[in-house]
Amino acid sequence: MMRTTIATVALTVILAGPALANPVGRDPTLAPKGEYGLDKRHASLIVKIPHMGGFSKFTMRFDRMDGGFTLDSANWATTPATLTIDAASIDTGLPEFDKTIAGPAYFNAAKYPTISFTARKAEAVDGQGTLTGDLTFLGVTKPVVLDVTFNGYGPGMLGVGTRMGFSGTGHIKRSDFGLTTMSQFAGDDLDLIFDVEFVRK
């Protein structure tokens, strides 16, 4: 009898968990106010760069990120938000190549350990819009505009807490930040693809 009860409770939790964790809205003016921190286990940044004029796009990702913001729902469009990336956490799928990319000829992670983005202004309709901010890479700061989808806000797993998620893309030129190494083999244009979730503290 006890085993049956435990199994029933477990099954109920498993079946109910996803429903309780679904986004409940995409209107930022209705999202709960407060301080939000990045859920590092549900955050990814992928970078794609053309190889030899465009035969393919070499794909890399960063494994360590952090960030957050304090949401004032009434002024959501100007909410300051920051995202920092550990430059040494680049992951190409080739461990020795990772060291080369993080080294002095490329990302120079020893001198510039973080890549950062600071959001200044958001514009969106029905969850689709843009995020304008400043990207700092290799000690150079440039304005960038990201295309962003607000995936919504809602309760966390089992209805505990509040989280919200975003997906987006961006495009930069590495030469704008002084990175011109091996330009004869790797293109200048970088495609950025990201997915992030934030949890209210």
pLDDT in tens, 161-195: 899 999 999 999 999 999 999 888 999 999 999 99
Cβ(169)–Cβ(147) below 8 Å: yes
Residue that is written with structure tokens 């477990």 in the block: 10
pLDDT of 23: 92
Find how far residue 19's CA is from the centre of its chain.
Answer: 24
Domain edges within the chain: 2-200
Confidence band, pLDDT 50/70/90 cuts, at residue 159: confident
Q: What is the pLDDT of residues 37-92, one digit of tens each?
A: 999 999 999 999 999 988 999 999 999 999 999 999 999 999 999 999 999 999 99
Residues 172 and 177: their CA atoms lie apart, in Å, by 9
Any idea what DSSP says for residue 25? Answer: B
Longest dimension (CA), the chain: 71
Count Cβ atoms below 10 Å from residue 147 Cβ, excluding itself: 14
Instruction: Name the CATH superfamily for 2-200.
Output: Lipid/polyisoprenoid-binding, YceI-like (2.40.128.110)
pLDDT of 72: 93
Residues 194 and 178: their CA atoms lie apart, in Å, by 23
Burial of 24 (0-12, 13-18, 19+ CB in 10 A): exposed
Question: Phi, psi at residue 75, to the nearest 5°?
Answer: -125, 40
Residues 200 and 23: their CA atoms lie apart, in Å, by 14
Helices (H) and strands (E) in the chain, counts: 2, 10
Q: What is the pLDDT of residues 85-117, one digit of tens each?
A: 999 999 999 999 999 999 999 999 999 999 999
Cβ(119)–Cβ(132) below 8 Å: yes
